[in-house]
Structure 1
Amino acid sequence: MPAWIEHAVFWHLYPLGFVGADIRPAAPPLPAHRLDHLLNWLDYAVELGASALLLGPIFASATHGYDTTDHFRIDPRLGDEADFDRLVAEAQARGLRVVLDGVFNHVGRSHPFVRDALEHGGSSPKASWFRYTPEGELATFEGHHGLVALNGENPEVEDYVRTVMTHWLDRGIAGWRLDAAYAMAPDFWGRVLPGVRDHHPDAFIFAEMIHGDYAGFVQASGVDSVTQYELWKAIWSALNDKNFFELSWALDRHNGFLDHFIPQTFVGNHDVTRLASRLDDVATLEHALAVLAVVGGIPSVYAGDEQAFHGIKTEGEGGDDAVRPAFPERPQDLWPDGWPIYHRHQELIGLRRRHPWLVRARSKTVLLENTRLVLELADAGRRLFFALNLGGPTSFSVPDARGVLAGRDAHLCGAGHDARLHLAEKGWAVLSTALC
């Protein structure tokens, strides 16, 4: 894995929604230079503590970006290649790397290769690029008619994906998120990625995985990391159910993953209900953020979550719209109510940046009850303690704790062996040790 990723914190955004583009245009849209809208938010991302931008799909598509029609062209609703080059240059000038979303297991039904296969059938030179149903129809991605599944067994498809990935890395990006990577066999990626890495060994390439054998997929595919959906679910579910046993179990699993790779961690993204809407008690929002800040992994913050945006994902057409909203022209135009959560993000990301070893930290459960949890985070002799409380005021012994690095309604009495932490109702704390 590239060395830079061990210090990375991503600010993740969905460009088409962020800039207010029409997601389902009735006619081919006129070109518009909307990518420049992102320039007004780069300093905001830096001040948040981010070191990289994780962008949703930006290539030409018919609707939401995942029905790609040209992997070599910027979506005209966003702009053109000059707009893209300007965004990358301005981001890099601020120390922000740019990682793109690669949709490589399917294309849009209006993609020229699909049209050729539909028009000429088996005589089309592109017919073998796609998978088919037993009835001879074009196979789709998870039943979506507009998303036609590519054939990962075709060497021409492998070469095409490798060429696309290398092309945009040559243009200045720092890596790829492989959308729905699980839809291709891991050995497909195992054949594609070595050629990409030959040219760009410092590229960070991670896969979207929801269920399955995370470590096995990493080993067989050659990706650097996968999305840690298990931990995402356990965080909000444990907080809602007041059941830290679930979170502790997931963190034990997480430790196992860290033995093989560093997972990509998150508490929100463009495909799920917003954290502020998912949690039953908004007071536990900080608890979730604190978990993200201290556990091992490569964290990302989904744009708007740092302002406690609300939004509920639903099924069907337009079901993602609420979690992919347009952002105002400038950060100064945001509603004032979200800034306290932004500042809390700054504090927690700052803590993580001051303790970069947390990227590989394993967690050990020191105290476990339904509503109380104390973890020891450790790596190579360095340690922090992390305490969460979902009940009323409480106190407990935390030997070797030296001070409160971050928290809410937390007070540490004594030090070393006699240290005792007091947490108010729904308090939490990150605690230093003699060897933090």
Structure 2
Amino acid sequence: MTGWSDDTIWWAVYPLGFLGASTRPADGNRPLEHRLPALEGWLDYLLSIGCNGLALGPIFESVSHGYDTLDYFRIDPRLGDEDDLAHLVRACHDRGIRVALDGVFNHVSAAYPDLLAALAGGPGAPTADMFHIDWSTNPPTRLNFEGSDDLVRLNHESGAVRELVTRVMNHWLDLGVDAWRLDAAYAVPPAFWAPVLADVRAAHPQAFVWGEVIHGDYARIVADSTMDSLTEYELWKATWSSLADENFYELDWTLTRHNEFCESFTPLTFLGNHDTTRIASRVGGAKAILAATVLFTVAGTPSIYYGDEQGFHGVKYDRAWGDDEVRPVMPARPDELSELGADVLRYYQQLVSIRRRNPWLVRARTTVTQLANDRIDYEAWDPDERTRRLHVALGVGESVTARIADSGGELFAFEG
């Protein structure tokens, strides 16, 4: 585990949406548009929340939404160029902010040049083994990702794929980025990552790497892949559904699981991301503050999806472009944000401040002390120094309440 990650709270951004770039496919080559520099105007805002990590969604050249990669070594012209990214990384580092990139290494665009070369050249083509292609059909059949004809799966048994991924990760770490999120890591054999990450860490021992894993044996996946962490969707789901259903027994059960995971690794914890309905849309604005209370008082490396700290709403739909609501454009500058989100931001700042004053929470364990459908009380405590503990009480009965206290008294109170 990379030491600096213990002190990191990420602010996660989907750049194409945040910066107002079109995510629809275009006819012909796209013009170069320097949008990435606008993110520099948000770095002080990131710090004002209490975050110190900027986790960027896909920024490499792609056909549409960023997860259909065309070129891993070129910044998407809708966002800018390599100089723009290098300047952004320097601006982040000048402020003590770490930078993570999104590595989409499970699949590529159906128009990916090496794939087209393979289909044109047949099974003997130099790039043919990089992809899952059934050559017995006419035309050959590609193995697509989750039913999308636009996304074609890489063959992770291919040495060429292993070399490509290693080269891409090192290339951008050489430029100065600090971390990688591995997209759709749940669909990649965990053993694929071990030799890749060994080579990456040989060149960049301080790099932090986490995988997007939705379900499965989390501890085993971390061990086999050698990733530092992974996304804990179990805690995400239990948090919002316990609040939505007013049934804290699910959260109680999941906190026990969470303790077990933390014996093996430090999970990447979150309330939302570019693929999920906003927490405020799922549970309402008041209960969303309770969700944030959980996020910042249990173990893990927390990540805030941009806009959640402002109480943004947005629903993910199961249809074409159904992610648009949860990937919104932001104003040109933070001072143009609506005042409607100011109260939510202040609650986030208070919660992050508690987290900062109790850095041991990254490795905390939780013990539930009172439980009912509409109420849960728990203690978060330091396994290395058990006198360090916080008392957390959440209620969703006639009123929605959250309290955090330590031995010195109340630290946080919310009623909505």
Given the two structures, how large is their TM-score scaled by the length of structure 2? 0.95
Q: State the Cα distance separating 1:284 from its structure 2 match.
A: 0.9
Q: State the Cα distance separating 1:372 from its structure 2 match.
A: 1.2
Q: Give the structure 1 partner of residue 72 of structure 2.
A: 71
Q: State the Cα distance separating 1:316 from its structure 2 match.
A: 2.2
Query: Is the 8 Å Cα contact of residues 255 and 366 (structure 2) preserved in structure 1?
Result: yes
2:253 paired with 1:249 = yes
Give the 5 Å matches for 1:3-22: 3-22=3-22
CA gap 1:393/1:171 in 2 versus in 1, 3 angstroms: closer
Q: Which of 307, 323, 341 is the aligned partner of 2:344? A: 341
Q: Give the structure 2 partner of residue 190 of structure 1.
A: 194
Q: State the Cα distance separating 1:317 from its structure 2 match.
A: 1.6
Query: What do the CA deviations read for 1:373-393 (whole angstroms, capped 9, x no partner)?
Result: 110111122111111111147
SS in structure 2 at match of 1:294: coil
Q: List structure 1 runs of 4+ shifted beyond 4 angstroms.
A: 133-136, 398-401
Q: Give the structure 1 partner of residue 410 of structure 2.
A: 404
SS in structure 1 at match of 2:347: helix
Name the CA distance, whole Å, in 2 between partners of 1:266 and 1:148: 28
Name the CA distance, whole Å, in 2 between partners of 1:129 and 1:217: 23
Q: Give the structure 1 partner of residue 271 of structure 2.
A: 267
Query: What do the CA deviations read for 1:339-364 (whole angstroms, capped 9, x no partner)?
Result: 11111111111110110000000100
Given the two structures, how large is their TM-score scaled by the length of structure 1? 0.91
Query: What do the CA deviations read for 1:308-334 (whole angstroms, capped 9, x no partner)?
Result: 111100112211111001111001111
Q: Give the structure 1 partner of residue 390 of structure 2.
A: 384
Name the CA distance, whole Å, in 1 between partners of 2:173 and 2:406: 46
SS in structure 2 at match of 1:41: helix
Name the CA distance, whole Å, in 2 between partners of 1:104 and 1:57: 11
SS in structure 1 at match of 2:141: coil
Q: Which of 157, 165, 172 is the aligned partner of 1:168? A: 172
Name the CA distance, whole Å, in 1 between partners of 2:189 and 2:32: 36
CA gap 1:159/1:315 in 2 versus in 1, 3 angstroms: same
Q: State the Cα distance separating 1:20 from its structure 2 match.
A: 0.4
Q: May I ask how many residue pairs the two structures share in their alignment?
A: 407
Is there any run of 5+ residues in structure 2 with no aligned partner, and where? none
Q: Which of 228, 239, 248 is the aligned partner of 1:224? A: 228
Give the 5 Å matches for 1:31-110: 31-110=32-111
Q: Which of 157, 161, 169 is the aligned partner of 1:157? A: 161
CA gap 1:115/1:399 in 2 versus in 1, 3 angstroms: closer
Query: What do the CA deviations read for 1:385-427 (whole angstroms, capped 9, x no partner)?
Result: 11111114799xx998540011225xxxxxxxxxxxxxxxx6x
2:212 paired with 1:211 = no
Query: Is the 8 Å Cα contact of residues 405 and 411 (structure 2) preserved in structure 1?
Result: no
Query: What do the CA deviations read for 1:14-51 (whole angstroms, capped 9, x no partner)?
Result: 00111100101332321100001111111100111111
Name the CA distance, whole Å, in 2 between partners of 1:394 and 1:317: 36
Q: State the Cα distance separating 1:123 from its structure 2 match.
A: 2.8
Query: What is the identity, as a one-letter code, of the residue corresponding to 2:105?
Result: F
Is there any run of 5+ residues in structure 1 with no aligned partner, and where? 410-425, 427-436
SS in structure 2 at match of 1:122: coil
Q: Give the structure 1 partner of residue 185 of structure 2.
A: 181
Query: What is the identity, as a one-letter code, of the residue corresponding to 1:260?
Result: S
Of all paired residues, the percent bearing the same amino acid is: 50
Q: Which of 280, 285, 288 is the aligned partner of 1:282? A: 285
Name the CA distance, whole Å, in 2 between partners of 1:307 and 1:39: 19
Query: What is the identity, as a one-letter code, of the residue corresponding to 1:213?
Result: D
